[in-house]
């Protein structure tokens, strides 16, 4: 095990997969000479050259389309979005091409494409650069959607995404790039897509959270443990396909569930998880499933308002106390 940052773990995953498979290449804005807006591709141009680390114009629709086409021909592109908010400009290429070509070709074409980059609330990046874009993609059949929360997950899940024969939306978190954690150095270390992680075991309530909200939940768990409330925290890691069995098993043990997400709540991941629990584990519940979400508003620039937009630790703790009352 080595201790490294989330950013370094992503870089290592890319480096290992490019060494392993000459079909893997990286393309996006400033991924080469500038080494990535968040330095995830640092040093890759020097090692692999400009034919495999490709700087592009500011044209998400164009370079994503090139990625889809090259995947059809057998390459394994990793397309970097400087921020996932810009992926809106490539929705046609992702949703109508990457997600559907295997189906529309009767299985003649696989699309081993990874679209990766940062997303979700950050720090004073305002309305157009702070959206939780996973909600745009996990509704689409044919796409897999990943949101890694730890450095080890960042490495293991990105490597699995690159090796997958389906298009994978891989959304990182700008607020997590500098966090540190233990990461296996084994180049064959993989975390299968579609497998959740139990981040903390407990008995009174199941809390489902990922990326930044996971860390707030872990802090709240320490606080509420002093009040005698035992939280079990489940990190889905992959939102599509989701490991619903791990969530349901936890709910059947604790008989309560709180889902936390940073994005606006309407038609969000919390809604899907709540519906699944209602359908599959209703008789195991001692209280209604509770959703804690971001406010239904664009992200403000002002720091004090930005803090009000996303679920605070106080709001999370109050909701869990209510569910456990």
Active-site annotation, residues: 60, 129
3-class secondary structure per residue, 234-289: EECCEEECCCHHHHHHHHHHHCCEEEEEEEECCCCHHHHHHHHHHHHHHHHCCCCC
Nearest to 219, CA basis, from 319, 120, 317, 290: 317
Q: How far apart are the C-alpha atoms of 197 and 39, rounded to whole Å?
A: 27
Q: Which two tokens stand for residue 1?
A: 């095990």
Q: 199 is written with which tokens?
A: 């981040």
Query: Which residues lie across from 24 on neighbouring strands?
Result: 76
Distance CA 245, CA 195 (A): 9
> Distance (Å, rounded) from C-alpha 72 to C-alpha 143?
15
| β-pairing verdict for 144-146 and 257-264 | unpaired
Residue 14 sits at the vertex; the CA angle it makes with 107 and 121, to the nearest 5 degrees, is 90
Element (H, E) at 24: strand 24-28
Q: Which alpha helices (H) appear in 81-148, and where do they start and end?
A: 91, 101-104, 134-137
Q: Which residue carries 């290429």 as its tokens?
A: 93
Chain-centre distance for alpha carbon 119:
8
Bridge partners, residue 106, by sequence: none
């Amino acid at each position: 095990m080595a201790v490294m940052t989330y950013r370094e773990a992503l870089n290592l995953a890319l480096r290992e997969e490019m060494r392993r498979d000459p079909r893997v290449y990286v393309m996006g804005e400033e991924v080469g000479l500038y080494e990535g807006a968040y330095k995830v591709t640092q040093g890759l141009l020097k090692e692999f050259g400009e034919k495999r680390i490709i700087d592009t114009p500011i044209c998400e629709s164009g370079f994503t389309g090139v990625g889809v086409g090259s995947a059809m021909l057998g390459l394994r592109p990793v397309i970097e979005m400087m921020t996932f908010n810009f992926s809106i400009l490539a929705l046609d290429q992702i949703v109508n091409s990457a997600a559907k070509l295997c189906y529309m070709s009767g299985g003649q074409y696989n699309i081993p494409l990874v679209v990766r980059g940062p997303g979700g609330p950050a720090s004073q990046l305002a309305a157009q650069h702070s959206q939780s874009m996973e909600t745009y993609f996990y509704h689409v059949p044919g796409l897999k959607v990943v949101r890694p929360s730890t450095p080890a997950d960042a490495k293991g899940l990105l490597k699995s995404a690159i090796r997958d024969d389906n298009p994978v939306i891989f959304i990182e978190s700008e607020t997590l790039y500098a966090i540190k954690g233990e990461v296996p150095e084994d180049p064959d270390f993989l975390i299968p897509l579609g497998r959740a992680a139990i981040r903390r075991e407990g008995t009174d309530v199941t809390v489902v959270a990922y990326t930044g909200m996971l860390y707030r939940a872990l802090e709240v768990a320490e606080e509420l443990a002093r009040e005698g409330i035992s939280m079990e925290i489940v990190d889905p890691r992959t939102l599509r396909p989701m490991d619903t069995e791990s969530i349901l098993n936890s709910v059947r043990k604790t008989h309560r569930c709180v889902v936390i997400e940073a994005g606006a709540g309407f038609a969000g991941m919390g809604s899907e998880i709540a519906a699944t629990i209602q359908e599959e584990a209703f008789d195991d519940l001692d209280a209604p499933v509770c959703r804690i979400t971001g406010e239904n508003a664009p992200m403000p620039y002002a720091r004090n308002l930005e803090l009000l937009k996303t679920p605070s630790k106080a709001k999370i703790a109050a909701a869990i106390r209510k569910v456990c009352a």
